[in-house]
Structure 1
Amino acid sequence: MATNAPTQDTDGENYDSIPARYLGVQTRKKLALWLNPPRVGGTNWEDLADEMGFEYIEIENFKLNNSPMYEVLHIWSLKENATIGQLIQMLKHIERFDVLDEIQSSLAKDISKYRERSSSPMPVQVPEVSTGNYPNVPTTSELHGITLQDDPYGVDKELFDAYVCYCKEDRDFVIQMVEKLESSEFGRRLKLCIDDRDLLPGTAYLTVTAELIENRCKRMVVVLSPEFLDSPECDFQTKYAMSLSPGAKKQRLIPVMYKQIEVPQLLRFVTVIDYVKDELKTWFWHRLAKALSRPIKH
């Protein structure tokens, strides 16, 4: 793994303080162009993904993408502690100094934009908002107050049994899922996270859903349909959840076959619950409720 030594620019700024999510599109494209191709006797995106902490099965699944490096960056940059400084150190560690040279100009622009944003004055708040009932709690995190029941100051965060990953065309089925599983029909009432119902508007969607999937929801239900295959948001959420549970070791993903499709290769080693076959529907909701009620493996 890469060294933890701080990475600084010529002005002495610590790049380890700059979140990796501020990497711009051009920087990401250049990294993909230079690191996607195989390099005989050298290093490429697979070595960088290993440096980032991804496991073997995750890297094998990244190979299914047209641009694996871009996908790796997309998921890694959403991690809470991922920084531009770490990326620079990892590129040095795999001895891709040529890539560092190539991204130098675009990376400088990304850092400049970050500085501009960081130096922008915060909106003035009235004392009642700043020092109300939680005077010692920071109120600037974008991950506070992201669901309807969240405490906006971050003291109490709403937790769920499962995040439901679905496309808008399958919303009626998801509403039926809520009616079934959030009742006491199959034992204890489950609590599902439904974007259309539970997320507050105006939030950064990908960042918020990554937070919910990783830290707020025990599991994720994936509603499979032809429309699911065409949804970039569903694709991201599934791959992100898979990165948290490589090889389904923690049994976090539960795919539901709502409409008949060929199971995506990423999910072929996970047991799918079938809603398509009429003869299986009698058992469907009980099986799903039982799967969501199990304790998480560690």
Structure 2
Amino acid sequence: EFDAFVAHDFDDFGWIREHLMPKMEGEHHLKLCIGERDFVPGTQLKDVIVDKIQSSRKTLLLLTPKFVNSEWCDFELAMSRNKLFVNGRDVIVAVVLKPLQMDTISRRVYNVLKTRLYLEWNDEDVYAQKLFWAKL
């Protein structure tokens, strides 16, 4: 149903709306699952998240200091990693949206960052942003 489930903190929806949606949906015609837009109100949030992750090809994990220390980050990461065990496919694409303090993140997030390549967003460097989009 979706090309990617976007796991993120609510505070980062502005970046999603301003940068991610126009680039990935507008220019590249990918279908993103974004909770603020695609979740049906009145349903159990955890059930919806599991369903949307299962119906997405990838999980785009937008990491910020606030999000990595939330129970939602751990839950969405665990559900995404579950696809690896069930389907044999690693589906997580990690993006460090804001600089992280490595000593304050959970073991699960730490393992993701230590075992795979990840992308980093740079608010100020236009050239770095072009490389970011090309790699994503």
Structure 2 CA distance for aligned equivalents of residues 251 and 276 of structure 1? 26
Given the alignment of the two structures, is residue 251 of structure 1 paired with residue 56 of structure 2, yes or no?
A: no
1:183 match: secondary structure = helix
Please list every run of 5 or more consecutive structure 1 residues that lacks an aligned counterpart in the other structure. 1-158, 289-298
Pairwise CA RMSD of aligned residues?
1.7
Out of 120, 125, 129, the position equivalent to 1:274 is: 120
TM-score by length of 1: 0.39
Structure 2 CA distance for aligned equivalents of residues 229 and 253 of structure 1? 15
1:201 match: secondary structure = coil
Highest RCO, 1 vs 2 (Cα 8 Å, sep ≥ 6): 2
Contact 2:61–2:95, Cα closer than 8 Å, also in 1: yes
Contact 1:260–1:276, Cα closer than 8 Å, also in 2: no
Shift of 1:169: 1.6
Please list every run of 5 or more consecutive structure 2 residues that lacks an aligned counterpart in the other structure. none
Q: Residue type of the partner of 2:32? A: L
Shift of 1:272: 0.4
The percent of aligned pairs where both chains have the same amino acid is 26
Structure 2 CA distance for aligned equivalents of residues 284 and 236 of structure 1? 26
Contact 2:3–2:57, Cα closer than 8 Å, also in 1: yes
Q: Residue type of the partner of 2:20? A: M
2:21 corresponding residue in structure 1: 178
1:54-91 deviation line (CA, Å, top 9, x unaligned): xxxxxxxxxxxxxxxxxxxxxxxxxxxxxxxxxxxxxx
Contact 2:81–2:90, Cα closer than 8 Å, also in 1: no
Structure 1 CA distance for aligned equivalents of residues 122 and 115 of structure 2? 19
Q: Which moved more, 1:270-279 or 1:204-213?
A: 270-279
Contact 1:209–1:237, Cα closer than 8 Å, also in 2: yes
Out of 71, 74, 79, the position equivalent to 1:240 is: 79
1:165 corresponding residue in structure 2: 7
2:44 corresponding residue in structure 1: 204
Shift of 1:207: 1.0
Structure ranking higher in helix proportion:
2
Which of the pair has more CA radius of gyration?
A: 1
Structure ranking higher in strand proportion:
2
Structure 1 CA distance for aligned equivalents of residues 57 and 111 of structure 2? 20
Structure 2 CA distance for aligned equivalents of residues 260 and 280 of structure 1? 15
Structure 2 CA distance for aligned equivalents of residues 266 and 203 of structure 1? 31
Q: Residue type of the partner of 1:177? A: L
1:152-202 deviation line (CA, Å, top 9, x unaligned): xxxxxxx10000000012111111201111113xxx400000000011100
TM-score by length of 2: 0.83
Structure 2 CA distance for aligned equivalents of residues 179 and 231 of structure 1? 27
Shift of 1:250: 2.1
